[in-house]
């Protein structure tokens, strides 16, 4: 793994890897069902944009997340592009079995580092989640890489502060089980850049061989500032949601993820290699409001790139 040190000279910018979560985190909170064909066409369009990874769907209970009840069909019908990893969110063993059956490239297990949010989202205490996910990792037995998303890593909308020591303790337990990566999730946009700098520093020092991904929501307008703090701290992997859709239905006040195209546009303008075709991405981003039937928060799709000039009035 190629995690640059903080002393990387500014001229040598690291490659940044984006994971698109619009069809999972983005869609799961939408009130109106999005047709299976539309989801498949969207994933196929995203596959042509240069993403490192796409979180296609989740293998959750169809009663809990009815939007994603078509997970098998979506995974079965998308056109997989070599070089793009197709990952899925998995809450339990049943979900893992479905994900393996669907030949997902990665299983993204989820639990919350906040007890109250874990009870709301997964209907069990954290220790029980950890035991269940330990069993999942044992059953998968290295056949498919495992990532673990830790919800509410920067704070919980019900409990408030989540101590860094708590986050590190849960991360430690999963790293000890041999997971490939950890996604540090700011589920309800409570993180601020100074906190992010501290957290990414601590996690990289502690887990130098683990792929660390940062997952921000823009609930309080700090999303891109947090991306910048992460990049400056040496992080190269991010989740984003096209149009800025998204949110956890079991976290009060949750709202959209950082908009992928806004984050990629920012990093691209700063000279980072994101591997993305920004023009193609903006074309897809401009379809999002039609797909969900309402305006979306993403800004660059509306304003255009900073290089898109206008005739003088
Ligand atoms: N896939 C499909 N169905 C599942 C399932 C899975 N992974 N896990 C549970 N179910 C079904 C069970 O078969 C059962 O169905 P039934 O009522 O028809 O018998 C029902 O869901 C309840 O099962 P149970 O084991 O009691 O689970 P639960 O009610 O405690 O739910 C979760 C636990 C985690 C599976 C469920 O709450 C869930 O899927 N939550 C979604 C979390 C999420 O995605 N949040 C947003 C992203 S962070
Ligand atoms: Zn999220």
Nearest to 24 by CA among 94, 122, 84, 107: 107
Ligand 1 touching residue 122 (CB < 6 A): yes
Ligand 1 touching residue 36 (CB < 6 A): no
Ligand 1 touching residue 60 (CB < 6 A): yes
Closest ligand to the CA of 258: 2
293 belongs to a structural domain: yes
User: What are 254-272's pLDDT values in tens digits?
Assistant: 999 999 999 999 999 999 9
196 belongs to a structural domain: yes
Rounded CA separation 231/187 (Å): 19
308 belongs to a structural domain: no
Nearest to 67 by CA among 284, 306, 248, 281: 248
190 belongs to a structural domain: yes
Closest ligand to the CA of 28: 1
206 belongs to a structural domain: yes
Closest ligand to the CA of 72: 1
What's the pLDDT at 12?
83
pLDDT at 6 over 50: no
- Count of structural domains, the chain: 1
269 belongs to a structural domain: yes
pLDDT at 2 over 70: no
Ion ligand 2 residue ranges (Cβ < 5 Å):
25
Mean pLDDT of 295-312: 96
**Span from the CA of 248 to the centroid of ligand 2 (angstroms):** 6
Only one residue has tokens 């910048």, namely 228
Residues with a known catalytic role: 248
Bridge pairing between strands 85-90 and 146-151? unpaired
- Where in the sequence is the domain holding 223, given as residue range(s)? 13-303
311 belongs to a structural domain: no
Shortest-distance Cα residue to atom 33 of ligand 1: 122
Ligand 1 touching residue 58 (CB < 6 A): yes
pLDDT at 25 over 70: yes
User: What are 205-257's pLDDT values in tens digits?
Assistant: 999 999 999 999 999 999 999 999 999 999 999 999 999 999 999 999 899 99
What is the CATH number for 229?
A: 3.20.20.70
Ligand 1 touching residue 94 (CB < 6 A): yes
Nearest to 293 by CA among 39, 33, 110, 4: 33
Only one residue has tokens 């859709």, namely 245
227 belongs to a structural domain: yes
């Amino acid at each position: 793994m190629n995690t640059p040190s903080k002393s990387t000279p500014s001229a040598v910018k690291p490659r940044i890897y984006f994971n698109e979560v619009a069809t999972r985190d983005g869609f799961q909170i939408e009130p109106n069902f999005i047709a299976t064909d539309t989801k498949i066409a969207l994933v196929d369009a995203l596959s042509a944009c240069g993403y490192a990874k796409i979180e296609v769907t989740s293998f959750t209970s169809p009663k809990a997340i009815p939007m994603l009840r078509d997970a098998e069909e979506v995974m079965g019908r998308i056109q997989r592009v070599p070089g793009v990893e197709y990952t899925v969110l998995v809450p339990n063993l049943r979900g893992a079995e479905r994900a393996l059956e669907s030949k997902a490239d990665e299983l993204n297990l989820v639990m919350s580092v906040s007890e109250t949010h874990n009870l709301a989202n997964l209907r069990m205490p954290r220790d029980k989640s950890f035991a269940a996910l330990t069993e999942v990792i044992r059953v998968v037995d290295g056949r498919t890489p495992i990532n673990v998303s830790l919800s509410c890593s920067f704070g919980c909308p019900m409990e408030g502060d989540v101590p860094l020591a708590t986050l590190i303790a849960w991360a430690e337990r999963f790293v000890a089980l041999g997971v490939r990566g950890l996604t540090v999730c700011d589920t309800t946009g409570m993180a601020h850049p100074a906190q992010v700098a501290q957290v990414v520093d601590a996690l990289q020092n502690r887990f130098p061989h683990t792929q660390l991904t940062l997952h921000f929501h823009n609930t309080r307008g700090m999303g891109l500032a947090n991306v910048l703090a992460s990049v400056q701290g040496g992080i190269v992997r991010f989740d984003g949601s096209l149009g800025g859709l998204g949110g956890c239905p079991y976290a009060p006040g949750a709202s959209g993820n950082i908009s992928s195209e806004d984050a990629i546009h920012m990093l691209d303008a700063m000279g980072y290699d994101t591997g993305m075709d920004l023009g193609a991405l903006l074309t897809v981003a401009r379809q999002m409001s039609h797909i969900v039937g309402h305006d979306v928060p993403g800004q660059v799709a509306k304003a255009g790139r900073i290089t898109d000039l206008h005739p003088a009035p």
